[in-house]
Structure 1
Amino acid sequence: MSFLTEERGNPNTLSYRLYFKNSNGKYLSPFHDIPMFADEAQNIFHMVVEVPRWTNAKMEIATKDPLNPIKQDVKKGNLRYVANVFPHKGYIWNYGAIPQTWEDPGHKDNDTGCCGDNDPIDVCEIGSKVCSRGDVIKVKVLGVLAMIDEGETDWKVIAINVDDPEAKDLNNISDVRRLKPGYLEATVDWFRRYKVPDGKPENQFAFNGEFKDKDFAIETIKATHGFWKALLSQQTNAGELNCKNTCVSEGNSPFCCSADEAKAVVDGSCACGDASPIPTSVDKWFYYAKN
């Protein structure tokens, strides 16, 4: 199963969108239509890459937009970029999400004591290759970190591309600790401090910032898949989320989107144009003493 992308609008502007389609050119939602599992028997998951390693633009699946394209997050009318909080340059992994998952804001997690953040579950892919925005890769899950972001549970799955040369040696979170010393500590540090330049406090973590192992991570992902299924079957109120899809819902569902409707969504967006320059401020470094 392979997926293609189509750029619309101007990169580095508010108009930019990255739409997804299958190998036959049928438009689809990366949130709803790409299967969670790439190989269920082997617990291999699909990951949609939103942010390539070392970049700063806060790109994400637009959960409230038709067909859920990838676009850049906006705050107070401005495009969002994560700061370079010394010694970290941009995102320190390929960052993205597992499709067909949803962290339910109405469900309080027994372990964290907090409700979900209303997004698909996040993934940090730690292999050697720098991916491209919109890549759909197959990943092996290694563990998970439970970040508490402004009172919400925001799981961060640690995974590796199954095609990465290092994948054969990494099978659980303990292998990451052994073979990539300092990487897990850097990951906690990154998530703890990345919002401080925006004037926000440091993020907190459940389990005292300790990573849970592969089995725990897989069960967490499967739980968020259950929440997503409840969302698509209308057992849960979608709120502002856009659940239109071209592959999952039956014709009598309000979420069913025909191929013509999907094409009209893309055709109605801005034509692809030249990229605007990234602000020079994005390359600056932010320094502050750790608490």
Structure 2
Amino acid sequence: MRALLPLLSVGRGWRVGAAARPPRRVMSLYRTEERGRPPSENYRLFFKNVAGHYISPFHDIPLKVDSKQENGIPRKKARNDDEFKNLFNMVVEIPRWTNAKMEIATEEPLNPIKQDVKNGQLRYVPNIFPHKGYIWNYGALPQTWEDPYQKDKTTNCCGDNDPIDVCEIGSKVLPRGDVVHVKILGILALIDQDATDWKIIAINVNDPEADKFHDIDDVKKFKPGYLEATVDWLKCYKIPDGKPENKFAFNGEFKNKAFALEVVNKAHDCWKTMIMKRCDHGAISCMNVQMCDSPFHCTPEEARSLVESVATPSMSKESNVEEERWHFLN
């Protein structure tokens, strides 16, 4: 599933990619630890920061990339300050071309990545010809929340109770658990069960072609057909399960970077309200290690005790028939 980049084993050093990276890339500030057997219901992927403390990828990884430092580590300066105004952290949940529906477990303490389960079965997205699994690196923007109690004025629907989803369109397959810096290019509004499920279109800032992309029109220019394939994939991926086509706001039109940034900023404000316990957060776990003013703050020792209570690590993997099955739609 992740053949293009090496896996990070439990207890080993920081993740380093096999391919050469641009010089502005620095050592990763986060690493991951697998517990449980993949694929299984008890599999969890936990996150650690540079100090080796367990953290929540939902709450403890900052939304925006600091142009000078992050978590106390100085960073190499990009070629211009304007680049940092549109530079965000993305947590990779699902590598491109894979099928397992992995997601940040919003209702579990420290919010590890797990595989979604429905009706007692692990969930996989179907291969719908000609697409194999997910057609982008799929993940989420940390410290964002689509409030299910707040109606969006542009879509007339409330949020879907999750962090904002990201479709990363770069040329590399990114490993599950990577935290990468992305440039936001645009956004699509999927309407899922009467809730707004925003899909950010972004590109890894370290992608070899990243300098070509600044707004949604650049995707149309340099990756013709990709946006149309994105709409088609999102519209049809539930059909093999017997469900109808998904719907979109704005007739499936992609909005530009400026619109996307407004959506992200609003979702960040909703998250800040939630993490400070100023609104109803439902079943979402807001446990965090680094937001010291939050009522949900815990100590690194409490976080470690929680993780150590989870199943022991295992790197074994079993194949699944759903990853090999193909569907052809009329």
**TM bucket, shorter chain:** over 0.9
**2:123 paired residue among 74, 80, 90:** 80
**1:261 equivalent in structure 2:** 302
C-alpha displacement at 1:71, in angstroms? 0.3
Residues 142 and 158 in structure 1, CA contact (< 8 A), matched pair in contact too: yes
> Quick one: distance in 1 between partners of 2:322 and 2:180?
31
After TM superposition, list the pairs within 5 Å mapping 1:188-267 onto structure 2.
Answer: 188-250=231-293, 253-267=294-308
In the alignment, is the contact (CA less than 8 A) between 1:8 and 1:17 conserved in 2?
yes
**1:254 Cα deviation from its structure 2 partner:** 3.5
Residue matched to 1:283: 324
- Tell me if the contact between 1:142 and 1:213 (Cα under 8 Å) persists in the aligned partners: yes
Q: Distance in 1 between matches of 2:227 and 2:266?
A: 24
CA distance in 2 between counterparts of 1:163 and 1:274 reads 28
Aligned counterparts of 2:240 and 2:285: Cα–Cα separation in 1:
31
1:32 aligns with 2:73: no
Matches within 5 A, 1:52-67: 52-67=95-110
1:70 equivalent among 113, 127, 151: 113
1:129 aligns with one of 155, 172, 192: 172
Partners of 1:43 and 1:254 in 2: how far apart?
Answer: 30
Deviations 1:53-102 (A, max 9, x none): 00000000000001000000000111100000111110000000000000
2:54–2:300: 8 Å Cα contact kept in structure 1? yes
Q: Structure 2 length as normaliser, TM-score?
A: 0.85
8 Å CA contact retained: 2:56, 2:110: yes
Q: What one-letter code is carried by the residue in structure 1 that aligns with 2:297?
A: C
Partner of 1:93: 136
Where do 5+ consecutive residues of structure 2 fail to align? 1-27, 68-83
Q: How large is the RMSD of aligned CA atoms in angstroms?
A: 1.1
| CA-to-aligned-CA distance 1:247-266 (integer Å, 9 cap, x gap) | 0143xx53011111100111
Does residue 272 (structure 1) correspond to residue 313 (structure 2)? The answer is: yes
Match of 1:8 in 2: 35
Q: Do residues 174 (structure 1) and 217 (structure 2) align? A: yes
CA distance in 2, matches of 1:113, 1:161: 31
CA–CA distance in 2 between the matches of 1:6 and 1:272?
8
Runs (4 or more) in structure 1 with deviation over 6 Å come to: none
In structure 2, how many angstroms separate the alpha carbons of the residues matched to 1:30 and 1:120?
A: 11
Which residue identity lines up with residue 273 of structure 1 in the other structure? S
Measure how far apart 1:197 and its partner are. 1.1
Contact 2:34 2:314 in 1 (8 A): no
Residue correspondences, number: 287
For structure 1, list consecutive stretches of 5 or more residues without a partner in the other structure.
none
Asked whether the equivalents of residues 13 and 276 of structure 1 are also in contact (C-alpha less than 8 Å), the reply is no
The match for 2:13 is none
Q: Where do 1:121-160 residues align within 5 Å?
A: 121-160=164-203
Give the TM-score, by structure 1 length: 0.96
